[in-house]
Amino acid sequence: MQKRSYIRIISFTVFALVVLITSVLVNTANMNKYKSQLEVNYQQSLTELSECLNNVNTDLNKTLYSGSSGEIYDLNRDLYAQCATAKNALSRLPVGQMELGNTYKFLSQASDYAQYIGAKIEKGEKISDEEHKNIKVLLEYAEKFSNATSEMVNIVAKGGKISSGEVANTENLSVTSLSNGFSRSATTFEDFPTLLYDGPFSDQMLNKKSALVQKAKLKTKEQCAEIAAKVIGVSKNKINFSGADDSKIPCYTYKSGRYTVIVTKQGGYIKSILYSGTVPTSSISVENAINIGTEFLKYIGYADMKECYYIISENICTISYVYCKNNVYYYPDLIKCSVSLDDGKILSIDAATYLTNHTDRKPKEAKKSEKDCRKGVSSYMKINSVKQCVIPKESGIEVNCYEYRCTGRDTGEDALIYINCDTGDEEDIMLLLNSENGTLVK
């Protein structure tokens, strides 16, 4: 009897231990799952905050350089929206732990100032020198906070955990009040339609059908295969058909070794080329790479292309070319070309934007002189050079402009100011990001 009781006690004890251990394991698993989900949410919020701060930085930069009341109004409308989104992202982060408390103060000031400037522009008033200085102060803070959060995103990318306290702002940034006691009661932008950016120009108007391709004669699959073979320098029997699509620009896709070539069904135009190999070293100059790209574009049927910008990454030089006729640069007609800095091999071509937008255009005479148009450039900008161009707008129209390459007198940063040749109004601003690896615009 005692033995049976002893066995029963042991059995109950073992069962209780099993239940306890199972419960602990389940709770631990649930806790780990919760922590993992919390970390994912934190990281998503940090990324969103970083992107918004970068956009705030860009909007303030453009506001500083703009000479157009309408452009300044639009920029501050977007600035207000970006600040609101950033605050929302910030509210989902452990602010105290991450040393982000002052970020909220900065966003509040930037948001309030955006309302103030917007209300002033609505009344037809101009920005004063004192207000210009305030924008400059906000820009300085925006750059610091943007850099700080970008660094935190990099820490996360390297494995740092926000939930474990491994990610924090090390800059210890503080924010002082602006010198001008501006009104906080200005009408907000909450009821306004979403701002539609018209730049940068590289991705404009890709949702329309190509007039160039639609007018061209239909090619057979075999004819397009011959074209694909010719552009990558192989015989036709080494080209393999990979597929077809009937998108806005219907194409055939071919493969050969590491190359993928896409050719339009109508006209046999090269839409894209992609080489999947890597580039181990760099031995040729950027100037040489640009010349190689220009000659190759001419060889495959894209003449009169002029380089605008380039960027170097992993021994590859990616160059943006635009169509240029009679010294007028047509930004809607853009082709990107990547060249190996090792041996000059063409690694990629992307002509989708060119094919979508290129057409025979009749040259238009400017209604205003360049001298008149330069009056539309902000006095805070020093003009370095000027050229005539055509830029695309989100509405689908193209606008003749003078492009002024300028340097900010306050910041020393470079920008492109686009002034309408017919009205003298400012159409757009692009900020130039210069580095030893090239130039990008935003």
The burial of 15, by beta-carbon neighbours within 10 Å (0-12 exposed, 13-18 middle, 19 or more buried), is given as exposed
pLDDT recorded at residue 251: 93
Q: What angle do CA 237, 242, 247 make, to 5 degrees?
A: 130
What are the pLDDT digits (tens) for 216-260? 999 999 999 999 999 999 999 999 998 898 878 899 999 999 899
What are the pLDDT digits (tens) for 329-368? 999 999 999 999 999 999 999 998 899 999 988 888 889 9
Q: What is residue 268's DSSP assignment? A: T
pLDDT for 112 beyond 90: no
Taking the C-alpha atoms of residue 328 and residue 119, their distance in angstroms, rounded to an integer, is 38
What are the pLDDT digits (tens) for 117-150? 877 877 788 888 888 888 888 888 888 888 888 8
Q: What is residue 38's DSSP assignment? A: H
pLDDT for 151 beyond 90: no
Helix (H) or strand (E) holding 426: strand 426-435
With beta carbons less than 8 A apart as the criterion, state whether 167 and 95 touch.
Answer: no
With beta carbons less than 8 A apart as the criterion, state whether 368 and 428 touch.
Answer: no
What are the pLDDT digits (tens) for 26-74? 555 555 555 666 778 788 888 888 888 889 988 888 888 887 888 888 8
Taking the C-alpha atoms of residue 128 and residue 287, their distance in angstroms, rounded to an integer, is 44
DSSP state letters, 371-384: HHHGGGS-TTEEEE
pLDDT recorded at residue 311: 85
What are the pLDDT digits (tens) for 277-327? 888 899 999 999 999 999 999 999 999 999 998 888 889 898 999 999 999
Which CATH code for domain 370-441?
Answer: 3.10.450
Q: Which pLDDT band, with edges at 50, 70 and 90, does 203 fall under? A: very low
Taking the C-alpha atoms of residue 279 and residue 238, their distance in angstroms, rounded to an integer, is 23
pLDDT recorded at residue 299: 97
Q: Which one-letter amino acid corresponds to residue 321?
A: Y
Beta bridge partners of 339: 317, 346
Phi, psi angle pair for 228, to nearest 5°: -60, -40
What are the pLDDT digits (tens) for 175-196? 444 333 322 222 322 332 222 2
pLDDT for 200 beyond 60: no
Q: Which one-letter amino acid corresponds to residue 327?
A: N
The 10 Å CB-count burial string (b at 16+, else e) for 85-109 is bbbebbeebeeeebbbebbeebbeb
pLDDT recorded at residue 30: 52
15-29, 54-68, 413-427: least confident range: 15-29
pTM beyond 0.75, yes or no: no
Q: Which pLDDT band, with edges at 50, 70 and 90, does 25 fall under? A: low
